[in-house]
A and B are shown apart, each in its own frame.
Chain A
């Protein structure tokens, strides 16, 4: 067993919707310890009622999101050693606080419900044969399906931070829509949704979301920008607009 190698002063935001403050705890550090270990150590030894969400402790479930020294990260994936002798952990800023490090993220679940699900063609559904798809075709949506719903991208998105109610679904759900739109067998056109309630136009590509994604999904470059481009084809191409008006065609999937 490795001995305790040093100590750290952990400043944790404690409080609820009514307000709160940073409380400092002195934590012995073991080799390889991550921030979540330190928080759980405090819970087990110094503050039994310290509220924190966590599950897998292996960066696969996306539960333990917090702002560590001001930067949104997964606590289970952030080694203490990166911070020297002192660090601060606060709850995600964009969502209402429930208690301590736990925030109310239920808005995200409502948004997810508003996105029309995967919709294959009638022909594909009726066919009894297993579907054939090529790896290069499924690869396009695989990147987006890596999302673990930690909501760090939502937390850092300034559209969501600064507007209430939000006019934009946020990066997580742009990626959700992209994963459906780029699924080789999906047939639904979600561009009216993107333009309307999902509000893709509100994203002005500051790429903060990409920077905090623990799965390294290129949210802006590979997800949001192609979605914006798809919309532009339909809604903002004057020639296409005129032709559509003349022919009376509805938008087909691009």
Chain B
């Protein structure tokens, strides 16, 4: 087959992903004087950020006057079971109030307190009411505000429905990316001085997930292939409350805001079971604790008819529920024929978020590849072993801006290095290969098998033999995927069979990294629970597992993290004495 031509597009900063982190980064880079191009897989404004419901965490102390960045910092570290990058947690807690207020000045509208300040609602494992919100559609508000700001910022351009396939490097530095347009399959070669990965998570690796088709972990895979390090890949968040019934809607998110507004969890015997798992924080315990509690109740035979538990908010007035949780009301009424003002919801854990991701520098978001940056869910460090609700939206704003600032300041002349044509040609061949195998195995079937493999072998509670079997299965799926087809069509025009085949590569890198890291972490910490190692291991609390590409394949090694400075340690210890029932035993 002759190699098709490609269009070359030059820019200073290339941003992959148009969710909160990508857009905030694009705005920052453009304000720093760079020419910015945002490339996204979907249409602008559809990114996964719109799915964030509950709010954005920022210690603005509008509702609880005692709140401060120190408490937010301690909550975040404690929630992450202390394997977070403490510097990221510190920057995040210090800077998120400023970022939220800035958003308001760009036109975002939040619910108000009676004094006219931004209202803040309570959320799991946040000591004080801290989540700025607008009903239960905070993510949409945030994304729309950033979208409008970005399209009206000079120097920002957007290419929609374009998928990046491979990052290109030159003399060890980032030089661009090869991508294809989804609508007609035409190829684009982007050349840039700096590249920001803001591609989100990889929840599509699991069957029951709150994530969309887009969440195939492209950023992690692209960075890994380009030589960057990944960290904490074993840490995948199960959101405690996803819909369980009807089967067609299984996995759709039920916002933590329901519990924030007073919703209670009960098993089929009517018992408010969180009493037994975390009697202090109850339903508002951290997500890992609540998800495991629900899992345990179901396994013990105390679940609801469809394999979940009951979440009940009916003690609140119907008008209150409709004004504070309008989309939940609508979602259950429409999809499950359940009126949540009168009946309890049935909920069970659903895959929601990757705490792990690309290892970045706390201050700038730069990866181990010069000129390559990452922010948002694609990056790792802030959340450690478990993310608190509301900390992802603030993560996007704080580190999206920081990475954008740094990428925008990268030397423009860096775009000049010559590209290695062999690198480009090889990427084009790999990208188009599935089209040459129309009769090859169906990519949809392989995608489904990846999902089933992780669901079976890397579930909410894992064990060594299961993970080993899972790794073997993933490697075998990798071999099959390298020979898979498109499901029949050789067409380049909007061909989802081909797109899915391409996405498999990303999913497999993420799945392998997840399972390999999970095998290494022989303890239970945060979202990573092992039935064969049910306790915390203090020695492992000092390390993160780093994943990198070597000539022999994927390697995982433990790296000891830098100790927290004394004053931050003091802040954490102070609050540790007060809240962490699950660790007191």
Contacts and interface: CB of A to CB of B under 8 A. Distances in A.
A98 to B, nearest CB: 5
Given A130-B117, A145-B144, A113 B212 contact: no
B245 interface: yes
Interface stretch (B105-113, B222-230, B372-380): B105-113
Contacts of A120: 105
B149 interface: yes
Contacts of A234: none
B116 A98 contact: no
A148 B107 contact: no
A48 B112 contact: no
Query: Interface size class for chain A?
Result: 35 or more
B494 A117 contact: no
A183 to B, nearest CB: 6
Interface string A94-135: 000011101001100100110001101000110000111111
- Which secondary structure dominates chain B's binding surface? loop
Contacts of A57: 212, 252
A32 B107 contact: no
Nearest to B145: A118
Q: Which of B46, B48, B104 has the most CB of A within 10 A?
A: B46
Contacts of A118: 106-107, 148
Interface string B422-459: 00000000000000000000111100100000000000
The interface residues of chain A, by DSSP majority, are classed as loop
B213 interface: yes
A132 B488 contact: no
A69 interface: no
B2 interface: no
A178 interface: no
Contact of B111 (A138, A180, A183): A138
A30 B248 contact: yes
A61 B42 CA distance: 11
A34 B335 contact: yes
B416 interface: no
Contact of A51 (B43, B107, B248, B496): B496
B336 A32 contact: yes
Interface in B109-168: 109-112, 114-118, 134-135, 137, 140-141, 144, 148-149, 151-152, 160
Contact of B109 (A33, A45, A141): A141
A59 interface: yes
A148 B247 contact: no
A58 B254 CA distance: 10
B43 A53 contact: yes
Contact of A183 (B44, B109, B210): B109
Interface of A: 1-2, 16, 30-34, 37, 43-45, 48-63, 77, 79, 98-100, 102, 105-106, 109, 112-113, 117-118, 120, 124-125, 130-135, 138, 141-142, 145-146, 148-149, 180, 183, 186
By Cβ-Cβ distance, the 4 closest A-B pairs, closest first, are: A32-B246, A48-B487, A118-B107, A48-B497
Given A60-B137, A63-B43, A109-B160, 17 more contacts: A31-B247, A33-B247, A43-B496, A44-B444, A48-B442, A58-B51, A63-B46, A77-B335, A98-B494, A117-B152, A118-B148, A130-B60, A130-B117, A132-B115, A134-B112, A135-B111, A145-B141
